Structure 1
Amino acid sequence: MARTEVATLPTTSVPFLDATLYIPPNETPEQRSARLKAEEQAKHASDEIDALLNLERARIKAETSTGRKHTLLLLGQSESGKTTLLKQFQMMHAPKTFNDQRASWKAVIYLNVLNTLRTLLISLRDEPTLRSPEFESLLEISSQLATFEDTVAAKLVESGQFERPQPNSTKVYMRKRPSLDFLKFRRSSSSSTEGSAWPASPELDSCLETANQVLTAHLAEIKRLWEDPMVRSYLTGQHQEDWRSFFLNDIDRILVPGYMPTDSDILRCRIATIGITEHKFNLGSRSLFRKNVDNVEWTMYDVAGSRGQRHAWAPYFEDATAIIFMAPLSGFDQYLNEDMTVNRVQDSYELFTKICRNRLLQKTEIVLFFNKMDILQEKLNFGKQISDYVPSYGSRPNDLENAKKYFCSHFEQTFHAHNKTGRSLYVHFTSVVVSLSLCMFLMNSY
């Protein structure tokens, strides 16, 4: 697989470390006092974080050394399916928590629906041949839909479980506990960090009810626009279907009064995540990864996968029993949001290579999930040519089986090249949203 060239960042005239220690010329006594106080506060915060990290590292090591705890890391790039797989585990091994939160997911699903409609209208706006009467009708209420989306996002942020990347953004992230608060929380609680349902909000309920009324009033136009063959063909070519199709295909059911999210709805709804969180599972009596796990607690760490957050993975490597690495092959024709020059499959490959050669993980078992195979099949059926985006694919047949062999061989080669301890690699081709049987299979295969 060809490596993508990435431009180097320009350097500044002042090295970073020198800049952090820089003392302004003509500094007044008041400025000096403020600077020294800020430096003291920063050192205190840094020392506190270091102390908490050391305590956390010692706790993990002590629990692991007794054989009463095993650690499972869930790794992969952003939008690879990690959170969906985690939801599957919760459904099986923490059903009370999962069901306690069921009603709360309604707001996130409505946010998905509103975002999908907004994205759909934006995508079709500059395509004259697709501007149907249904499009024009929905365009008239687009500002109202945007207001609903913004209000739902704002109320989710107020709940404390979400945050925005920017103050006025309609995009929200599900918050995984930041390092300092996360560590403090874990020291005081042995329960799952997910907790119960998110706090109720009458304002949010009112917004969802009003949005429901507006969407219901325009349901016929939404369905006709979404079911238009020319629109669907155009969106597939623009990478605009994926999970979005599920909610618009089922919009009648979602808009029914008294709607309660189903398991499938919760699995398919999308919201980005930041930070790291842990989930505890007792898998009963079975052997897993050649470990006797009879009533042994497993802790799964779910970590955010964007490039800017991968540095937070390292503290969890040393005592990891196994890694589940998610590599979505459907991204062969897509690029990272963080760097539009980097192909998503190429990024997965490079990230997997780094995991394989990391010295702290040399004895860690790896489960490799080539995920979103259903979406890959849809793209190949549509006529997408892998070689147009991955030149090294060459003249191989553009079908699912040959694509699987090609990508799998590259990942397996890098694993074996860095496998110095005889550890195992378990490879599966999956679509995580399809069935809960995936988790059953995983729990009984190794």
Structure 2
Amino acid sequence: MDTFTNIPIKPVIRAYLCKKGHVVKNWKLRLFVLKPGSNYMEYFVDETKESQHSPQGRIPLFGCKVFEYSHTKSSTVRDFCFIVETVESKQWIISASSKAQQSQWMEAIREAATIAEETDEVKLQKHKSIEKSLLSEVKSKNKTPVLKLLLLGTGESGKSTIVKQMKILHHKGFSLEEQEFYKQLIVRNILDGVALLVNVITDHQLELSQETKTATNNFIVWYQVYLSKRPPTIAIKFNNATLTSTPSSPVRSPSTTPPLTPKHSPSKDNFLEDKLSQIDINQQQKHTRTNSDQSGQLFNITDFIPSIISNYITTIWSDPFIQSEVLIKAQDYHINESTQYYLNEFKRISKPSYHPTSLDILKSRATTNGVVETDFKVNEVIFRIVDVAGQRGERKKWINFFDDVTAIIFVAAISEYDQKLVEDNCTNRLHESLNLFDQICNDQNFPKTSIILFLNKIDLFREKLKRSSIQTCFPDYRDDQSYEKSSNYIKNSFLSKKRNGGNNNDSISKHIYFHFTCATDTKSFETVFNSVQDIIISKTLEFYC
């Protein structure tokens, strides 16, 4: 029979103590309350306020220091004083009624501080304190530091989304020109996504309802002409740089050309245009010159999808078979993760008055070619984020941006554990990310600086765990499919890549900080970046101070 030792429960400590004011330097009697396991010591005006739980103030206990204090600066000398100093160096001067009471409270506060946790409020105060220290040093030396963050990772890991989030948080969102750019990109993402779904149907010879089949046939006839007429890229100039985005190919595997319905050839554009004049089966109009002109406008679209095409897309996506079986098979074709989101929101997006929301823009997808540098000013500190394309063919350019790097932010999409690379369609994406992280951690050519690891796309990872085993990527994994255990296993797989070389300085210089992130969630990303900002600024203080 098991026996348990009775562990005494510590009582709540309550007493009236005198507290010196922070603004008006007088002494006031306050009821102090210290509860076992609490992260704060609270004080009240009286018992009534305590019963209403309306504290006059509270002192964070995490990491606080307690020491005796001799108060001899006024005409009234106070005995048995002590100071509670928080991690932000804020002090509370308190006076007890006796030496025994002073010792009791000092000992109790010290013990409580050892088990108190760092709350979000404490983190925020620390964050503000670090910023204040840096700004003070910068002002005294008349310097504006530029902190260069190198954003690395494999293709489609979410690096560009992080840059967009920074614009939302520190540039007050997107300009009208940028919104127009992303509106055009979203339209392309939708049309290419639907084309890929039709390609899946064609390749697998899937049976559809007659209504869905008619819609897919009509859509793809139109899409072929549209694709041949649209410009290959869309570009915008901002932040002293030109961003040219090329939407991902609508058909990546296994076909090399977009799908066609039977008896249609890509070389017969005239036939397709004639076919387009008959697409709207609900209209019984003759094919006149006016109608032909309107039909021609169907191909030259940028930021708006014509209603006739919108109807076909709505019909296709409303089919439950498309949203289940076809969408799952489309994962093997590298379908953009945003396709499902955009089609679920298509009724709103297809309106002529549509303006993209921040989330719409965050979900947009285009292949980053070359390098995009973006500056963000955060409280007189400039963060320069260098987003370098992550595809294999682009990585040779990374070395050109290693000078004066403050920190490396490595982004890994942990939701890609069961997906293959777009570049070769053979290599597991997460394996590629792990190998690249290994190189960054241990290759002497990479900057010897702190690495911040973003384990990204946790929202998609949670959903995917319900239907796809993590053993696809990690055959040796033997635990359950829970998010906590699976994500922890992946985190440890990345952290284990850092090897301690023969030079002790190398192992010290490349410290790894990690965060689980959802780059499309602005609120959670803001919390993460505040933490990252503290790490970066703390390191920078060593240089500026």
The answer to whether TM tops 0.5 is: yes
Aligned position for 2:513: 426
- Cα contact 2:150–2:408 (8 A) shared by 1: yes
- Cα contact 2:430–2:473 (8 A) shared by 1: no
Aligned counterpart in structure 2 of residue 410 of structure 1, from 483, 493, 496: 493
- Cα contact 1:362–1:421 (8 A) shared by 2: no
Q: Any residues of structure 2 matched to 1:138-287 within 5 Å, and which?
A: 138-141=215-218, 142-154=220-232, 156=234, 162=244, 207-208=301-302, 211-225=305-319, 228=320, 231-236=323-328, 238-239=330-331, 240=335, 242-284=337-379
Structure 1 residue 99: Cα displacement: 4.5
Q: Any residues of structure 2 matched to 1:37-436 within 5 Å, and which?
A: 68-95=145-172, 98-128=175-205, 130-141=207-218, 142-154=220-232, 156=234, 162=244, 207-208=301-302, 211-225=305-319, 228=320, 231-236=323-328, 238-239=330-331, 240=335, 242-284=337-379, 295-359=380-444, 361=446, 363-382=448-467, 384-393=468-477, 395-415=478-498, 417=500, 420-436=507-523
Distance of aligned partners of 1:103 and 1:231 in 2 relative to their CA distance in 1, 3 Å threshold: closer
Q: Which amino acid in structure 2 is aligned with residue 438 of structure 1?
A: F
> What are the superposed Cα offsets for residues 303-361 of structure 1, whole Å, 9 maximum, x if unpaired?
00000110111122231101111111111111112222311111101111111113354
- Cα contact 2:229–2:300 (8 A) shared by 1: no
Runs of 5+ consecutive residues of structure 1 not aligned to the other structure: 1-65, 173-202, 285-294
Larger displacement relative to structure 2 (205-214 or 83-92): 205-214
Q: Which has the higher helix share?
A: 1
Identity percentage over the alignment?
Answer: 28
Q: Which amino acid in structure 2 is aligned with residue 381 of structure 1?
A: K
SS in 2 for 1:218: helix
Distance of aligned partners of 1:400 and 1:309 in 2 relative to their CA distance in 1, 3 Å threshold: same
Distance of aligned partners of 1:171 and 1:161 in 2 relative to their CA distance in 1, 3 Å threshold: farther
- Cα contact 2:304–2:352 (8 A) shared by 1: no
Provide TM-score, normalisation by structure 2: 0.56
Distance of aligned partners of 1:148 and 1:436 in 2 relative to their CA distance in 1, 3 Å threshold: farther
- CA distance in 1 between partners of 2:516 and 2:245 (Å): 33
Q: Which amino acid in structure 2 is aligned with residue 405 of structure 1?
A: N
- Cα contact 1:318–1:360 (8 A) shared by 2: no
- CA distance in 2 between partners of 1:363 and 1:158 (Å): 34
Distance of aligned partners of 1:400 and 1:434 in 2 relative to their CA distance in 1, 3 Å threshold: same
> What are the superposed Cα offsets for residues 100-155 of structure 1, whole Å, 9 maximum, x if unpaired?
41122111111011001101111122445542223311222212023334434447
Distance of aligned partners of 1:205 and 1:364 in 2 relative to their CA distance in 1, 3 Å threshold: farther
Distance of aligned partners of 1:365 and 1:98 in 2 relative to their CA distance in 1, 3 Å threshold: farther
- CA distance in 2 between partners of 1:218 and 1:245 (Å): 16
Higher-RCO chain (CA-CA 8 Å, sequence separation at least 6):
1
SS in 2 for 1:420: helix
- CA distance in 2 between partners of 1:164 and 1:112 (Å): 10
Q: Which amino acid in structure 2 is aligned with residue 369 of structure 1?
A: F
Structure 1 residue 233: Cα displacement: 4.0
Q: Which amino acid in structure 1 is aligned with residue 494 of structure 2?
A: F
Distance of aligned partners of 1:164 and 1:366 in 2 relative to their CA distance in 1, 3 Å threshold: closer
- CA distance in 2 between partners of 1:204 and 1:420 (Å): 60
Q: Which has the higher strand share?
A: 2
- Cα contact 1:365–1:424 (8 A) shared by 2: yes
- CA distance in 1 between partners of 2:307 and 2:498 (Å): 53
- State the structure with more CA Rg: 2
Structure 1 residue 248: Cα displacement: 0.4
Distance of aligned partners of 1:220 and 1:317 in 2 relative to their CA distance in 1, 3 Å threshold: closer
Runs of 5+ consecutive residues of structure 2 not aligned to the other structure: 1-142, 253-296, 536-545
Aligned position for 2:128: none
Distance of aligned partners of 1:238 and 1:156 in 2 relative to their CA distance in 1, 3 Å threshold: closer
The size of the alignment, in residue pairs, is 335
SS in 2 for 1:162: strand
Larger displacement relative to structure 2 (144-153 or 313-322): 144-153
Structure 1 residue 422: Cα displacement: 4.7
- CA distance in 2 between partners of 1:362 and 1:303 (Å): 15
